[in-house]
Amino acid sequence: MTLPGSPFLAYRGPDLYLDDVRLGDLAEQHGTPLYVYSRRAMLAALAPYQRALQGRPHLICYAVKANSNLAVLQTFAQAGCGFDIVSAGELARVLAAGGSASKVVFSGVGKTRAEMATALKAGVKCFNVESTAELDVLSEVASGLGLTAHISLRVNPDVDAGTHPYISTGLKGNKFGVAHEEAVATYRRAASLPGIQVTGIDCHIGSQITEIAPYLDALDRVLDLVEAIEAAGTPVHHLDLGGGLGITYTNETPPGADQLIAELLKKIDARGHGHREVMFEPGRSLVGNAGVLLTEVMFLKPGAQKNFCVVDAAMNDLMRPALYEAYMEIVNTEQRSEVATVWDIVGPVCESGDWLGRERKLAVKPGDVLAVLSAGAYGMTMASNYNTRGRGAELMVDGAKVSLIRERETIADLYRHEKLLPSA
Ligand code: LLP
């Protein structure tokens, strides 16, 4: 059987390995649910971005929201990456992991004044500003502190990324960015405000994009704007083309990052913008296929209409199937020779939406450890404590080396901040 995504994940005999580590052993030693990531797979996913951008001014800003574990951020910081953040919390993580604020871009439609001040004092490279209202507040906060906010406007190029509506962000009806038609005027305003220094332009059209065409369309629209903005007297230094490159969950065939970037650079050069610093904000494509979620089979419930395989991971551990009806491959970490049956793989949470996979053909027995694949992105970062379930542990493997990078939450952790009412 071929597994999607990562060459670092493979069967050796009947046993599934990530790097040189047998996943069944990790489940036994650390318990389940358990997230396991491969450091090598992350660096291998970064390599084509770095190769394609070599020799020109660039910055790859890993989108922290995809997987914000400190060890993951440390891995990318050591590899020379910057970071795309959306909160002061993510900034704190980047700094705690050894990242540099001077390589951070701060995105998001709702930055608070306090977050702006924290980011200004830390010295972030750029604020990706999403509205005139935000621009005005940022100007106030920066000038109040006697500091300068370097900004790009996130423009909304109105292109359809052809992806799930919840993760498509570049269309007019989305809450994101400044409308194309208003961009030139908003740049003019930005250039006149105290405490604001225009440095770039930014767009991000969506996530899990599996084609090059929407990127090229967006780029054309962005370059049109850059030309109009500069003609109106405001120089634009860098182009930030966002993240969004998809991965293979099952049979998707996204372009490689090197192929995507080569085509984008070709257009940038052909249109005479080759001198600009180019930035990207990849999240999923750097970590998605570098991680799995391990879960133990608890009970099998064969039924008249459906067969349910109840596992110990649930929608609180991995929300993507419940939220987006996302398909994520599920395999047994120890291949069985018995005949496979069709199962719905469900968790213990009290909702019918709590499933990890539907109608999956698997040979399973209680006690088996299943691996949900491609779970390195938007897995742990979207996990919650619903049903008062502690979040699982996280491990990083590197060859045969295993590091615990986040301890499993205890039950006491879950209500540590809660208080009983004073007794009457
Ligand atoms: N930059 C900005 C401004 C973003 O909003 C995002 C993701 C990224 C970069 C990184 O995009 P990526 O390369 O990971 O596609 N929870 C959803 C995905 C939400 C993406 C939100 N924004 C999922 O599980 O599919």
| Half-sphere exposure at residue 301, Cβ-oriented, CA atoms within 13 angstroms | 13
Task: Judge whether 417 and 385 are in contact, CB under 8 Å.
Answer: no
The pLDDT score that the predictor gives to residue 148 is 98
Q: Is the pLDDT of residue 73 over 80?
A: yes
Among this protein's residues, is 81 annotated catalytic? no
230 CA to middle of ligand 1, Å?
Answer: 29
With the C-alpha atoms ordered 118, 123, 125, 131, is the resulting torsion angle positive or negative? positive
Could you tell me which of 287, 284, 286, 279 has the C-alpha nearest to residue 103?
279
The pLDDT score that the predictor gives to residue 207 is 96
Q: Identify the residues whose C-beta falls under 6 Å from ligand 1.
A: 63, 66, 84, 107, 167, 204, 207-208, 242-245, 281-285, 320, 324, 378
The pLDDT score that the predictor gives to residue 321 is 98
Q: Is the pLDDT of residue 166 over 60?
A: no
Please give the average per-residue pLDDT across 400-407, as a whole number: 98
The residue nearest atom 19 of ligand 1, judged by CA position, is 167
Please give the average per-residue pLDDT across 225-243, as a whole number: 97
Catalytic residue chosen out of the listed positions 126, 203, 309, 350: 350
Q: Which helix (H) or strand (E) holds 199?
A: strand 196-202
Cα–Cα distance measured from residue 269 to residue 52, given in angstroms and rounded to the nearest whole number:
14
- Tell which atom from ligand 1 comes closest to the C-alpha of 284: 14
411 CA to middle of ligand 1, Å?
Answer: 31
Q: Is the pLDDT of residue 161 over 90?
A: no
The pLDDT score that the predictor gives to residue 6 is 79
Q: Is the pLDDT of residue 172 over 70?
A: no
- Tell which atom from ligand 1 comes closest to the C-alpha of 244: 15
Query: For a pocket test of ligand 1, which of 59, 65, 382 has the largest count of ligand atoms closer than 8 A to its C-beta?
Result: 65
The model's pTM? 0.97
The pLDDT score that the predictor gives to residue 167 is 60
- Tell which atom from ligand 1 comes closest to the C-alpha of 378: 24
E strands within 347-390? Answer: 355-362, 369-372
Walk me through the domains of the chain, giving residue ranges and CATH numbers.
Answer: 9-38+288-414 (2.40.37.10), 107-282 (3.20.20.10)
The pLDDT score that the predictor gives to residue 168 is 60
